[in-house]
Amino acid sequence: MRVVGSRAASVSFVAIVVLMSGCDKADDQIKVYRIAKAPLDSTSPADADAAMPTNAASPAFPAGVAPTGATGAKTPPNWELQPPSQMRQASFLVKGENGSAADISLVVLGTAAGNVLENVNRWLSQLGQPAVNAEKLADTVQHLSTPRGDVVVVDLAGVPENGDATKDGRIIAAMAPEEGKTAFFKMRGNPALVGAQKEVFLKWVSSLRRAPDTSNAVDSSASRPDSGHAQIEFDVPEGWASAPPSAMRYASFTAVGGSGEKADVSIVTFPGDGGSDADNINRWRQQIGLPAADAAALNSMVVPIKSRDTGFFVVDMTGANSRVLAAWARRDGRTWFFKLTGPSSVVEKEKPKFVKFLQSVRF
Amino acid sequence: MLRKFVDLITSLKLTIVCLAAAMALIFAGTIAQVHLGIHEAQQRYFQSLFVWWPPDGRGFKIPIFPGGHLIGAVLLINLIAAHAKRFHWAWRKLGIHLTHAGLIIMLAGGLFTDLFAVESHMRLSQGDTKNYTEDPRLMELAVIDTTGPEFDQVTAIPEALLRRKRTIKLGSLPFQIVVRNFFQNSRLRMLSEATNGAQPIANQGPGAQIAVESVPRATGVDDRDVIAAAIEIVPIDFATGATAPSLGIWLVSDALGAPQTFSCAGRTWQLVMQSARYYKPFSVTLQKFAHDRYAGTEIPKNFSSRITLIDPERAVNRDVLIYMNHPLRYRGETFYQAGFQKDDQASILQVVHNPSFIAPYVACVIVAAGLLVQFGYHLVGFSRRRRTALA
């Protein structure tokens, strides 16, 4: 018993010493992070338009819903695109006669979006109207069949106290639940104008499709060899030989090292944003046998480089057997990826050429 | 050898020595606040393993007394080790075991709070929205790449690194930062107002017109140091890793209001010395700050902030009223109503992230339960014996 007690005492001592040595307040850690330039949304739920139980300060669009430009829907010409807000996926203003106006928005919320009754009652309260019960709700809602499934539509009227009748008095809202999220389409404004725009609004709701999930996309996806009609020009460094083209690549080159080892240079382009930087870098890390890194670590790896008419972001990562230098630029709605991959010694030798090559790119 | 060591760490003498050392430390630390100020004294005496003494004019320091962390840790080890060594399970000892366990949790909780708790402030004017808090006693040099249309990339270098390091090289920056001068506390004056032919320490930006004078550290409760540094920006060639000619030397200080801008590697950068920031995945908007007084007097009755909490990840958008003794607890952070600006137009919330905040509550309940069991057991035994004696 005595021996056991002594052992336990020694173990507790060691455990606390180890714990103490691992403790460190990160007061001298360098932090690298990105912050959105757009102002933070400050809409209170008590405010009239605060309808939704959340906003979206996150810069990323929720999976499953496309950003405005990628929704594939034609926006009516008289809808004026509004500056992006962090809460809204899309925002428009439509103007009518005598200063009347209506505000149109698309907001996507998580599971806490609430049920149809809660949302309808919230909209009713915004219009200064009494709440309805589940029975009455059945008379209020309509169902619209769209490519994204069944969408619940309500058309509510009423002017709140001190409301401006030229800009308020009617709400047409559509709710489309999908994969744990709910897309809210809402038009609120002058009753006559909202009525006139109802058909166009519902067409817009019907025509919006879900965005493809691009989180794992980019150059590993064999289904997107599209380079469109986009063209770029560049100066091929001396010593690089053109490699046979492939369906995926815009251009390929091979660089040969001193010992005959080869490094591969590729240019790939995709429409859209080409997936998040973090996903792409982590995929490249995986390709050379490195573990995934967190966002802060990834941000600290990215180095900006200026070419003749655009800016690239570049990462340089070395795995056990190979090294990759990857650069990307987003330009005119497309993303361009430039990669140099190969044995570390060859990549090291070719790095200055690769940087010059990037700097020579002309869009 | 092991036996001697175990005897030492489990001895009651060690407990007494630690308690005596703690008393001496508290006394010395309290007196030291006169010259060092409360925060510096706290750091040197209580939040350290040793209290160090730097002999005048020497470049080294000597540990002269165990610091708060060391005493606390030894006491904790002593308590756990002694308990582990003498542990013998019996129902009649349940009270003692519980009381010891409570004390261990309390000591460990105190240590963890000291090591891991982060205190910061959120100052909000009416209508302001922020998604970060600030530590007014800790500064950082923010190097911001403002080129992107949607995002700024911020590289935040804490003051401790500026103080210690001569050259700072980071993967996220196409240049290296060379710290030419560092002032823990300073007074900045326009060159035209400075005396004795003072020279600027920078040659770029407004710093080229400013003289910096080193002053003793701030010691008052509400005073704080004005940190200043002269930093040189030296571009690095990404391809070769070679350094290019310097872009110049900038003066950075929180006493200079606006960020300073320069260009490097085709991108636009800003330099600003600011309070250390802790970004949150949610934002807080101050809707209204209220400073209620008793009718007909200026005596404060209540301070409260009505805020809107918006968290896109958790689909939260709600109004919350924060007032005295009614903090907001959210995502491991506690927001207390801490202060306000004199004109009542801004509210100051103290934001505390303390992963072990529950420890003292749990410890008190366990200690109380242990004492109740222990005394209850003796009381019952005593009354039984008394009854038997009377019979």
Both tokens of residue A152?
């619940």
In terms of residues, how long is chain A?
363
**In contact, A287 and A302? CB cutoff 8 Å:** no
- Check whether residue A222 and residue A310 sit in a common domain: yes
Among the partner-chain residues B155, B266, B308, the one whose CB lies closest to the CB of A306 is B266
pLDDT of A104 above 60? yes
Q: CB-based contacts of A177: which residues, under 8 Å, 6+ apart?
A: A149, A183
- Check whether residue B165 and residue B218 sit in a common domain: yes
CB contact under 8 A, B87 and A5: yes
Q: Say if pTM beats, i.e. exceeds, 0.95.
A: no
Nearest to residue A171, comparing CAs of A9, A26, A51?
A51
Over residues A91-97, mean pLDDT: 85
- Check whether residue A222 and residue A198 sit in a common domain: no
Q: What pLDDT, on a 0 to 100 scale, did the predictor assign at position A304?
A: 82
CA distance linking residue B352 with residue B336, whole number of Å? 8
Q: Is residue A59, in this structure, part of any structural domain at all?
A: no
Chain A residue closest in CA terms to B311: A54
Nearest to residue B367, comparing CAs of B98, B146, B185?
B98
Where among A150, A181, A207 does a domain terminate? Answer: A207
Q: What pLDDT, on a 0 to 100 scale, did the predictor assign at position A230?
A: 62
Q: What is the CATH number of the domain that holds A180?
A: 3.40.1000
pLDDT of A71 above 60? no
- Check whether residue A188 and residue A79 sit in a common domain: yes
Distance (Å) from the C-alpha of residue A273 to the closest C-alpha of chain B? 13
Interface of A with B in 139-178 (CB under 8 A): none
Contact status of B124 with chain A (Cβ, < 8 Å)? no
> What residues make up the domain containing B305?
119-129+281-353
- Check whether residue A135 and residue A164 sit in a common domain: yes
- Check whether residue B285 and residue B251 sit in a common domain: no
CA distance linking residue B326 with residue A140, whole number of Å? 41
- Check whether residue A222 and residue A193 sit in a common domain: no
pLDDT of A213 above 50? no
> Which position has the higher pLDDT, A156 or A115?
A156
List Cα–Cα distances, A197 to A78, A186, A203, B286, in angstroms: 10, 12, 10, 36
Q: What pLDDT, on a 0 to 100 scale, did the predictor assign at position A64?
A: 35
Beta-carbon count within 10 A of B58 CB: 8
> Which position has the higher pLDDT, A340 or B92?
A340
Residue A171, classed as helix, strand or coil, is: strand
Q: What pLDDT, on a 0 to 100 scale, did the predictor assign at position A173?
A: 93
pLDDT beneath 70, residues of chain B: 56-59, 194, 221-222, 257, 342-343
- The answer to which of A6-15, A102-111, B376-385 has the lowest mean pLDDT is A6-15
Q: What pLDDT, on a 0 to 100 scale, did the predictor assign at position B251?
A: 93
Q: What pLDDT, on a 0 to 100 scale, did the predictor assign at position A61?
A: 33
- Check whether residue A170 and residue A288 sit in a common domain: no
- Check whether residue B185 and residue B149 sit in a common domain: yes
pLDDT of A26 above 70? no
List Cα–Cα distances, B297 to B292, B303, B304, B340, B341, in angstroms: 10, 15, 18, 19, 19
- Check whether residue B268 and residue B372 sit in a common domain: no
- Check whether residue B59 and residue B79 sit in a common domain: yes
Interface of B with A in 324-353 (CB under 8 A): none
> What residues make up the domain containing A338?
218-359
- Check whether residue A145 and residue A182 sit in a common domain: yes
- Check whether residue B178 and residue B225 sit in a common domain: yes
- Check whether residue A199 and residue A222 sit in a common domain: no
Where among B278, B307, B332 does a domain terminate? Answer: B278
**In contact, A232 and A362? CB cutoff 8 Å:** yes
Q: Is residue A212, in this structure, part of any structural domain at all?
A: no
pLDDT of A86 above 50? no
CB contact under 8 A, B155 and A32: yes
Give me the number of domains chain A comprises.
Answer: 2
Contact status of A29 with chain B (Cβ, < 8 Å)? yes
List Cα–Cα distances, B21 to B32, B37, B53, B131, B337, in angstroms: 16, 22, 17, 43, 36
- Check whether residue A257 and residue A277 sit in a common domain: yes
Q: Taking the mean position of all CA atoms in its chain, how far away is CA A276? A: 7
- Burial of residue B240 (number of CB atoms within 10 Å: 0-12, 13-18, 19+): exposed
Q: CB-based contacts of A339: which residues, under 8 Å, 6+ apart?
A: A219, A264, A265, A266, A268, A284, A324, A325, A326, A327
pLDDT of A84 above 70? no
- Check whether residue A190 and residue A289 sit in a common domain: no
Both tokens of residue A83?
């500056």
Chain A residue closest in CA terms to B139: A27
**In contact, A91 and A104? CB cutoff 8 Å:** yes
* Residue in the block written with tokens 């349940």: B94
Q: Is residue A137, in this structure, part of any structural domain at all?
A: yes
- Check whether residue A234 and residue A202 sit in a common domain: no
- Check whether residue B159 and residue B273 sit in a common domain: yes
> Between A and B, how many residue pairs show a Cβ–Cβ distance under 8 A?
197
Where among B231, B258, B278 does a domain terminate? Answer: B278
Q: Is residue A14, in this structure, part of any structural domain at all?
A: no
Q: Is residue A355, in this structure, part of any structural domain at all?
A: yes
Q: What pLDDT, on a 0 to 100 scale, did the predictor assign at position A12?
A: 58
- Check whether residue A171 and residue A232 sit in a common domain: no
Give me the number of domains chain B comprises.
Answer: 3
**In contact, A94 and A77? CB cutoff 8 Å:** no
- Check whether residue B166 and residue B87 sit in a common domain: no
pLDDT of A56 above 50? no
CB contact under 8 A, A110 and B314: yes
Contact status of A34 with chain B (Cβ, < 8 Å)? yes
> Which position has the higher pLDDT, A140 or A157?
A157
- Check whether residue B265 and residue B149 sit in a common domain: yes
- Check whether residue B91 and residue B218 sit in a common domain: no
Specify the DSSP class assigned to residue A299.
H
How confident is the prediction for chain A on average, in pLDDT? 73
Q: Give contacts of B317 with chain A, Cβ < 8 Å.
A: 43-45, 50, 52-55
Q: Is residue A107, in this structure, part of any structural domain at all?
A: yes
Q: Give contacts of B9 with chain A, Cβ < 8 Å.
A: 9, 13
- The answer to which of A86-95, A128-137, A312-321 has the lowest mean pLDDT is A86-95
Nearest to residue A32, comparing CAs of A323, A277, A348, A329?
A277
Which ipTM score applies to this complex? 0.77
Q: What pLDDT, on a 0 to 100 scale, did the predictor assign at position B228?
A: 92
Where among A172, A207, A242 does a domain terminate? Answer: A207
Where among B278, B303, B335 does a domain terminate? Answer: B278
Q: What pLDDT, on a 0 to 100 scale, did the predictor assign at position A282?
A: 85
Degrees to nearest 5, angle at CA A173 with A169 and A179: 160
Q: What pLDDT, on a 0 to 100 scale, did the predictor assign at position A58?
A: 30
Where among A207, A239, A261 does a domain terminate? Answer: A207
Interface of B with A in 293-312 (CB under 8 A): 308, 310-312
Residue-wise burial string across B190-222, b where 16 or more C-beta atoms lie within 10 A, e elsewhere: eeeebeeeeebbbebbbbeebbbeeeeebbeee
Q: What pLDDT, on a 0 to 100 scale, did the predictor assign at position B170?
A: 85
- Check whether residue B99 and residue B215 sit in a common domain: no
Q: What DSSP assignment string belongs to B129-189?
A: EEEEEEEEEEEEEEEEE--SSSEEEEEEEEHHHHHH-SEEE-TT-SEEEEEEEEESSEEEE
Contact status of B160 with chain A (Cβ, < 8 Å)? yes
Chain A residue closest in CA terms to B269: A304
Chain A residue closest in CA terms to B172: A300
pLDDT of A9 above 60? no
Q: What pLDDT, on a 0 to 100 scale, did the predictor assign at position B295?
A: 83
* Residue in the block written with tokens 């044995």: A343
List Cα–Cα distances, B208 to A16, B9, B192, B251, B378, in angstroms: 52, 59, 12, 8, 78
Strand partners, B326: B323
Q: What DSSP assignment string belongs to B272-303?
A: EEEEEEEEEEEEEEEEEEEEEE-TTS--EEEE
pLDDT of A222 above 80? no
CA distance linking residue A154 with residue B382, whole number of Å? 76
Residue-wise burial string across A328-353, b where 16 or more C-beta atoms lie within 10 A, e elsewhere: bbbeeebbbbbbbbbbbebbbbbbeb
CB contact under 8 A, B115 and A306: no
Nearest to residue B233, comparing CAs of B244, B218, B222?
B244
CA distance linking residue B144 with residue A27, whole number of Å? 20
Q: Is residue A297, in this structure, part of any structural domain at all?
A: yes
- Burial of residue A319 (number of CB atoms within 10 Å: 0-12, 13-18, 19+): middle
pLDDT of A48 above 70? no
Q: Give contacts of A8 with chain B, Cβ < 8 Å.
A: 81, 84-85, 87
Over residues A215-225, mean pLDDT: 32
A209 φ, ψ (degrees, to nearest 5)? -110, 165
Q: CB-based contacts of B213: which residues, under 8 Å, 6+ apart?
A: B186, B187, B188, B189, B194, B198
Q: Residue B88: which H helix or E strand, with range?
A: none
Both tokens of residue A39?
């102002």
